[in-house]
Amino acid sequence: MNPIAEKIKAYNSGRLPEILKLKYKAMRDDRYRFYRAIPHLLYNDIPKKSFLHDSPNVWLCGDLHLENLGSYKADNRLTYFGVNDFDECVLGPVLFDITRLLTSIYVSADNLELKPSEAHALCNVFIDTYFEKLAEGYIRELEPETTRGIMKKFLEKVQNRSRKEFIGEKTEKRKGKLKLKIDNTHTVAIPQSEKKEVEKHFLQWAKTTENPEFYKVKDITFRIAGTSSLGLRRYAILVEGRGKPDGYFLVDLKETLPSCLEKQCRVAQPNWKTEAERIVEVQRRTLSAPPALLASINIGKRNFVLKELQPSADRIDYVLFSGNTKKLKNILEDMAAICAWSNLRSTGRDGSAIADELIDFAKAGDKEVKKMLIEYSVLTLQNTYKYYKDYCEAYDKGFFKQPRK
């Protein structure tokens, strides 16, 4: 009997078997990807009387870690850097997000060639910057014109990227028509019956928009991306956009589930019509500009979040800065500021704390609170290592092997 393995299998029940096995392998191959995939386990570990519960309620990302912040283009075609995954978003104590981000720094220490003391110092940099920006009470945003160093170069690169070139990388001509490439790594062919069903509902939704022709479907594939969401239905859709061939757009359609964090939050949640509505609305509240084409769509009894497909290159490759604590420090300072601004931007909505409450909380953030944050993050790190060991033992014994059709 392996309780951790049982919980992981139960949490992932009902997912697409062929895609789910990729998730299980990724979790086995890399400890950080394992950490990304088990927020449900770690949130259940939070004690009922933890100091984390005493922090103000804000609109949480719900799964804040290093790889869930990145750049994206908004409808205005400008590039922004911010939280880019809201699957677990919910109204809850602000320190839930902070401790998950801190733990992700510790978990990634080996990959980033950091000594324990360096990882500890970087966590303190994040905490200090976050509380400082929250206490200021002012809302800013990171853009190419206002950033520095690595972050500035990163945003400029993304801003200057050509959509035409990106579409060209992801498509090929088949029988005289532009189609999405099938590489069985990032994209997988979709059964024709499912393809027709997705297209039917997608076009029905498109009729409710100002420009239905923009969403005229050219091709659809399964999309493989992320870690925690692997096994859920996710599609890449090539659409007409502004007209062929240069005006085509790629969109991402991702199935949604209830947040695994909601049960740990003691505050009443809005009565969302769907989980997709929750995810879309929280992004609109917390981001300075939401991702391009953001919307919620129902396909049968399932609901999905739609947005423009963003390249994987829009996430910072931290390994490039391995061992360079100065560059990592600068990135973490920017991330801490982004998190503080996001919290301030969404104040006073459906039960979230008002700005004055967040400012007072940050100003009162004494050394004891910061010390407890570090201690709890280290404890979570230790639990992650233990769970990973249990998972690997179960995986290697074939517990997660998918049955043959």
**Residue 284, token pair as written in the block:** 């609109």
User: 117 with 193, same domain?
Assistant: no
pLDDT tens sequence across 6-63: 999 999 999 999 999 999 999 999 999 999 999 999 999 999 999 999 999 999 999 9
Question: What does the pLDDT read at residue 125?
Answer: 96
**Is 402 contained in some domain?**
no
User: 256 with 331, same domain?
Assistant: no
Q: Does residue 252 register a pLDDT over 80?
A: yes
User: Of 281, 312, 343, which residue sits at a domain end?
Assistant: 312
| Rounded Cα distance, 261 and 53, in Å | 13
**Is 51 contained in some domain?**
yes
Nearest Cα neighbor of 16 from 260, 220, 188 is 188
Q: Does residue 69 register a pLDDT over 80?
A: yes
Residues 6+ apart with CB under 8 A from 381: 103, 106, 107
User: 334 with 248, same domain?
Assistant: no
Question: What does the pLDDT read at residue 138?
Answer: 95
Question: What does the pLDDT read at residue 243?
Answer: 84
User: 342 with 255, same domain?
Assistant: no
Domain total of the chain: 2
pLDDT tens sequence across 344-399: 999 999 999 999 999 999 998 778 899 999 999 999 999 999 999 999 999 999 99
Q: Does residue 100 register a pLDDT over 80?
A: yes
| Rounded Cα distance, 155 and 329, in Å | 17
**Is 403 contained in some domain?**
no
Q: Does residue 401 register a pLDDT over 80?
A: yes
User: 186 with 266, same domain?
Assistant: yes
**Is 404 contained in some domain?**
no
User: 49 with 127, same domain?
Assistant: yes
pLDDT tens sequence across 365-378: 778 899 999 999 99
**Is 57 contained in some domain?**
yes
| Rounded Cα distance, 171 and 179, in Å | 5
* Radius of gyration for the chain, computed over Cα atoms and rounded to the nearest angstrom: 21
Q: Tell me what percent of the residues of the chain surpass a pLDDT of 70.
A: 96
| Rounded Cα distance, 110 and 374, in Å | 18
Q: What is the mean pLDDT of residues 264-289?
A: 95
For 250, the enclosing helix (H) or strand (E) is: strand 249-255
**With bands split at pLDDT 50, 70 and 90, how would you rate the model's confidence at 318?**
confident
User: 98 with 83, same domain?
Assistant: yes
**With bands split at pLDDT 50, 70 and 90, how would you rate the model's confidence at 313?**
low
User: 153 with 181, same domain?
Assistant: no
**Is 278 contained in some domain?**
yes
Q: Does residue 155 register a pLDDT over 90?
A: no
Q: Does residue 145 register a pLDDT over 70?
A: no
Q: Are 251 and 239 in contact (CB under 8 A)?
A: yes
Average pLDDT of the chain? 91
User: Of 295, 312, 329, which residue sits at a domain end?
Assistant: 312
User: 8 with 156, same domain?
Assistant: yes
User: 84 with 219, same domain?
Assistant: no
Going by their DSSP bridges, the two strands 302-308 and 234-239 should be labelled as: unpaired
User: 85 with 173, same domain?
Assistant: no
**Is 333 contained in some domain?**
yes
User: 148 with 205, same domain?
Assistant: no
Question: What does the pLDDT read at residue 310?
Answer: 75
What's the domain range around 40? 3-160+315-396
Question: What does the pLDDT read at residue 166?
Answer: 85
**With bands split at pLDDT 50, 70 and 90, how would you rate the model's confidence at 144?**
low
Kindly write down the DSSP assignment for every residue of 48-68, as one continuous string: TT-GGGGSPEEEE-SS--GGG
Q: Does residue 91 register a pLDDT over 60?
A: yes
| Rounded Cα distance, 229 and 218, in Å | 25
**With bands split at pLDDT 50, 70 and 90, how would you rate the model's confidence at 404?**
low
* Residue count (the chain): 405
**Residue the block writes with tokens 């994040």:** 126
Q: What is the mean pLDDT of residues 288-297?
A: 93
DSSP label at residue 311: P
**Is 131 contained in some domain?**
yes
User: Of 255, 290, 312, which residue sits at a domain end?
Assistant: 312
pLDDT tens sequence across 177-225: 899 999 998 999 999 999 999 999 999 999 999 999 999 999 999 999 8
Q: What is the mean pLDDT of residues 227-247?
A: 90
